[in-house]
Structure 1
Amino acid sequence: MQENHKNHVLASGNNGDVSEMINEHLASMESLSVKIREALNNGLQADHHLEGHEEKAILLDLSNEIAAASSKDDLFNGIYIKLKSLFGIEKFAIVLLNDDQTCRAFEFDENNYTANGKGLNDPELQKCFLPEALLEEIDKSNNPVFLDLIISDIEVSAPGYIKKWIEQGIEKVAAIGLKVGGALIGFLHLYMEPERLMNLHTNLLKSVSSQLSVALSNIMLIEELTQRKNEMELLLSINTSMASVRNSEELASVIKHQFKQLLGCSHSGIAICNTDGKSVSPFLLDDEAKAKHHPAFQDAIKGRYPVTDPVFNKTRKSDLPVLFDLDEMASQGDLPLYIKVNYDNGRKFLLVSRFDKEDKVFGYWFLYFNEKQNFSLAKLKLVQSLAYQLCISVANIIANQEIKLREKEKERLLGFSNAVATVRDKEALSQILKVQLQELFSINNYSIYILDKERKNYKPVFNDTESEINGSELGVKITDDDEFFNEILATNGPVYYPTGADFVSGLAESFFQLQDNISNRNLIGISVQIGLEDIAIIIFTHHDFSEIKLHEPLLKGICSQIAITVAHILANERVNQQLLEIDGFKRQLEEETIYLKEEIEVNQNYAEIIGDSPVMQKTFRLVTQVAPSDSTVLILGETGTGKELIARAIHNNSPRKNKLMVKVNCAALPANLIESELFGHEKGSFTGATERRLGKFELANNGTLFLDEIGEMPLELQVKLLRALQEKEIERVGGRGTIKVDVRIIAATNRDLEKEVDEGRFRSDLFYRLNIFPIQLSALRDRKEDIPVLATHFIHRYSKKTGRQITTLSSKALQDMMTYNWPGNIRELEHLIERSILLTAGETLKHVYLPSLKIGTSVITANGEIQLKTIDENECEHILRILKFTQGRISGRGGAADILGIPPSTLNSKIKRLGIKKEHLV
């Protein structure tokens, strides 16, 4: 306990107290020595058992020499001479007992003793073992004990000097104990002539051994105190040196110039326990270590070794530093890599001391030796004291490094925060992240994946566009069964996916397929959080995962900043997108409002479809069948038959009735404006495009688009219309992207589209796409039974509109209308009644002003309808048909003249007379 207290005082740096304590011990020892000498003198003078004045003089002289001896060398030389002269001793040895039940032997011969200048407490003195029975016999007897050396157990375990005596033929020796305060500290071994041995002067030998015991005890105590003083001074010197250590370089210098010279090791090293509590990593390496030239040295210093390693485990459980024989360890199995690189370079012995901090193992100190060493308990305690000093310095260095690292991280985090503070778009953030992540962590090839609202998929939104791996190549949507991503979300820190990992990951698999140019890098990921909520994942490549772990707090801080910035950018994008959508809806609403006003003013005059004829009933049934579906409808019929009213009836009875039905008259628009009218245009896309305009397709989105007079659409527009119908997407004139639309198409035409297809004026693929559900509207002349109802309806409408009181129709007027052929169909009927009302006075419409019959018109006879034409008209029509058949060829075999049976000159004259021209053949 007292010794521990002294060590603690030394370790605490109380230099003045230690020096004062040592000086007091030395002064007390000198005073004790004087008193012993006086006591011996008084004892010798009072001893009446000594025989003769000569023996008294010898003892007095011996006492004076013993008292004057300041070292074991002086004591042993004087003792050997005196004992030889007193007892005729030929061989002599002093054996001192150790605390561990072993002995240290000092042998004397004719010239000197064989301690070779070593101290009494030196552990390198020859150690020997003697039977406990022999030691007990010497301890119990106050007189000399005679020993027979020819005894098996003594012979086997005897020290070297006894074996040498036995080889010289010595059979018996005397032994007398050396005691201080009744405790045995050692004994004398004496050999002399047998006659002298048997007549040994016992009382004189006991007196001599008593004086020698006291002297040895004093010298041992002085040597121990001197050794402790030296150790304390050394510890004080080291403590002073360690107090000024501020970094690893200064600590390495102290170890090199003080520790290595003191302990005699070839080199040393320090390892520190990692924060995970499961591994140990190198902290400080000796630049003089020969192992640094070993091929595996770099792997050794970068390794993380488990705390269950045999060396760490044994040292952790021991109170003192632990010795390891490397030859013995190598013979038992493979050496840990950090030991192997030193063993391969000639190191044979290892001493390991642990560092303790707050009752926990903090690290380890390694001392390598070229040769095997014998360490005494005192030296092991000295190493332990030095380890304690090192532990304090290493802890301070790590704390300083941690403080500097955290301050630097705060500066970097502030710089990063300032860099991203003004970022408002993805491209700018991507560039800033590229620069910042490279400068802070040497990170390349990063990509940020955002979690969707359901937290089931990850969508790439940011990436390093200049990296060796393009973001689009890694920019695939990852599902929630990706193990790598799931592990990242479950881990509070970075997670790495090493090259060659055996589990399958959709992202990692695609990543490693692109690693030709970035080998020896790991894929690392970490979650990006706002508070405790994961909003994204950032993945990147790096050559050293341990370096990322070292800067983990900074990386987490950066991720928090990234999370806030990404959230703001995405929120701004959503707001901007919503503003664009609102603006689009506003524009669309304005367009719809204008369009509806136009429809109300112009097109809502037809309140209903009128007609009870069988053909109209058939039409109604077709409308009822097709209206609930989204199928395309093609309405065919002559002009004025009410194709638009049928289209509106289909729309009004469909699920889209609450949306617009937008009408486009393909015949009323110039060819160069139809595309803009249908698909819209961007501002500046062509001359006069002063603002962006929505096309009819966008306006009719989720509603119905009525393409009237579709047969008049130019061929080049038919291709774009077909694509819009097939893909359900359009592209504005001057636009950069496509727009998805959901529109039901109803088309109408008065042309024969099949004939138009045959003659190459209408695309067959578009015709097939439109002709899904055709509805053929009959001409008014085919349903004349509807004329009275239609006439009555229009009379009531226009009477009210013009303010007239016409309520009836005369039978003659009705008969005239029933006889008329109505080439303009219902539209012609409507307009003629409106004209007749304006020209009628009274309440009865007596006359309808029908156009007079002309040549070329048709009349109804009892045998049916016939066309009234002149001879020239019939001849002209016949010649045109023949010319079209021959594709304009007049003469020659199979020509028009040959078919008509007239000379070519005659045919040419007729063509000229009848006014037939080339354009009539088209």
Structure 2
Amino acid sequence: MKMENGQVTELPVPSKAALEQERKILLDLGNDIARVREKNDLITLFSKRIKSFFYFTHTIVTLIESKDETYTPFLLDHEHSPIRDHNRYGEMVAAHFSLNDPFIQAVLAADGPISFLLEDIMDKPQSPSFLKVNYERGVREILMTTLRNEEKPVGFIHIYTDRTEGFSLEFRDTIKGITPQLASAVANIIKNEEILNKEREKSFLLEFSSEIAAVRTKEDLALAVHTGLSKLNALRGYVIRKINEDGETLSTYIYDPGIANFDDPEWVAVTTARFPLYDGLQNRVLESYIPLLFSVEREVQRGITSSYLHYWKKVGYRTMVGIRLHYGITNLGILWLGIEEINIQLLQGICFQISVAMANIVANEQVEKTQQEQAFLLDFSNDIAQVKTKPDLEAAIFKVLDNALHSKLSMIRLIADDGVSMPAYMFDNTLFVNAGVTHEQMAASVITIEEPYTAKVLASKDGVVFDIAEELKGGSAYAKLWAATGLKYVYALPLRAGNKLLGTIWLHSDWLSQLVLRGICAQISVAIDNIQANEKLLAYKKQLEVENDYLKEQIKTIYNFSEIVGSGEAMQEVYRLMSIVASTNTTVLVLGETGTGKELIARALHNSSSRKDKLMVKVNCAALPTNLIESELFGHERGAFTGALDRRIGKFELANHSTLFLDEIGELPLEAQSKLLRVIQEREVERLGGKQTIKVDVRLIAATNRNLEEEVKAGRFRADLYFRLNVFPINLPPLRDRAEDIEPLIHFFVAKFAKNTGRKIRKVSPKVIQQLRSYTWPGNVRELEHLIERSVLLATDEVLQDVYIPKQSTSDKQDLSFILNRTLEEVERGYIVEVLKRCAGKISGPGGAAEILDVPGNTLHSKMKKLGITKADYFS
């Protein structure tokens, strides 16, 4: 028969030669088909054998899916298919085509092969899409015949050609003759595949069972499940949910790491949430003895509101399979699989293995949890035994609640001395943040023993458990506050020490062990009673500690500048001035001889100011060439002068919002002084060669070893600049006036240079200290530093035995005020007294006054006796 314009027409009767050829083809093809075992072998054999006698483009076999009344591709001739590069080819291979369209119904009604011209049927309503796809690739006619097994249709043979009238009578008769053999071959292939699939399932379950047998922890189970389930075809992900201790919710226990997306808040929410057991899906799975296949879209339309269902829809899951996990009659949880088809036997085998392993793990976890709770309670008992203060108690309580009980402390209230009011004693100030209750509000809240909830708790023996959901139904204001925590229950217990009622404790949790809870509360009661008994003593101790801390802070603020060594009276005055001005933006002028540490003072002032987060900028005015001073301080634009190849940012701009230290300010030329004065006054600079005025916020610290007042009188320093700089002068004393600081400085520099040079110097001999104390130090601290560095390098053992003090020149200038208007005897007496003071009263020996004066010790004794010099003169 042939279908033309929707009408079936009879074909002519074949000739005798054609019948003979058909018989030969059938015989050869029958022998070949009998040897077919694989799908690809059948389609290849069919195409090659038939094509040797007749022309066609390609052929496929489809199978009927009775349960949903569709047929799907089964055997495909990929090699010869003209549509294999069509963009819908993948869709065609995976599609399910309806058995109810007129086209396929005509095929089922025919008693043999039936052909169709594609252009006649492809655009008709309900015609399958593969007709038009083939037509687009040049196919013009299709020959269809039904494969039957025991008179029941099981599939179809599709044969295509790019010619019209391409299927001859002989070809049709040949196809009709071999159809029963093809049907048998297809049936055998299906049976073989079923056998192979069962063998693979058995092998899979044995392998999975071996992996599960080695599972000891949740992590082991997650790995085994992932390894096993990843072998399932078309699996798009999975999650195992475990029933929680409350028996009413399920939480994620294990999930497919391949679908994890920590950047997606919705995925994180679905993974961490607790879902009600009775939500319309999970309860159905837990009540079913077989796996259930759910259509995601259909369940959404049914009104299921669970967030995980809508997330599945969002990520494109069409169907999900839910399998009950149970051990005996006890439900453990649910395995959800993103998969299109159910293999009930295989899934039940997998879930049985998972359930056994999960039950063992949960049991082990419960044992471990119990042991951990006992360990935490023991630790809590030990912690409570050492509690002396409220902070200690708070730390111990929060530790055991978080770690052992997984609960939150709402409030501890203690009965006040009046026996009625109950102010807050301890609470978690983060617990009610979502409800808008602040720390201050919780601390200020005071109730009485007559408040209904409190009275009920105080009257109870072992406390009261409040179900928040039930309390909300009664309209309780407290319940609305409790509900903001997201936890289910409030546990309230009385605190007692013997027969004495102390107060109440309120805890929030989803579940708490009453026995453990009562034990903890008993220990908390004892601790609070002890703290109250020692309250006055602790308060007095705390007051002393606060006063001590305050004094230490004052000392640190006023006197402790880490880079400066020295605590003598002269330096204490310097520290006092520094502490006054450090936190301000006031300009400071640091005065002192060379080597007294003016830069250290500047750095300490900067580090103690609000500008300490930025680096202090330093300029040595004495080291700047005259022609570059302005460029260094104020910057220049490109081309401002010869050699100005690039723009340069000046030191004032660099020090914006920081500190600028102008060292050796007395060396600045007069021309630069006038421009510096303008910048200080206006707080703005202009680069050389520039036209833009730049605002700057700079804290200025200047330093000099010159007497600026004398420099102003001599006309070498501008008076107006001096007054601008001399807002807050700090005078650094010379080292000769800081005899008490010499020894600390010695030890500081010895430690510094011993470390830098790798020397091990553990001690400085008293002789060396005495020698250094008796020296006049014209170079001040810098000279001492360099002298110690040299002495450390020359040291030969762990004790610094020698220093190399330069000999004093006889040409050293004398202070005329010491000589004028005095007799020779007064001058001699005063000079000997001053030397004895520098030598700390040592008369003879190394570092003694006799060595300095270059006279024998006996001679100096005689002189002192003659001049009436006593210890009171040089130890005053």
TM-score of Structure 1 vs Structure 2, range by shorter chain: 0.3 to 0.5
TM-score normalised by the chain length of structure 1 = 0.41
TM-score normalised by the chain length of structure 2 = 0.43
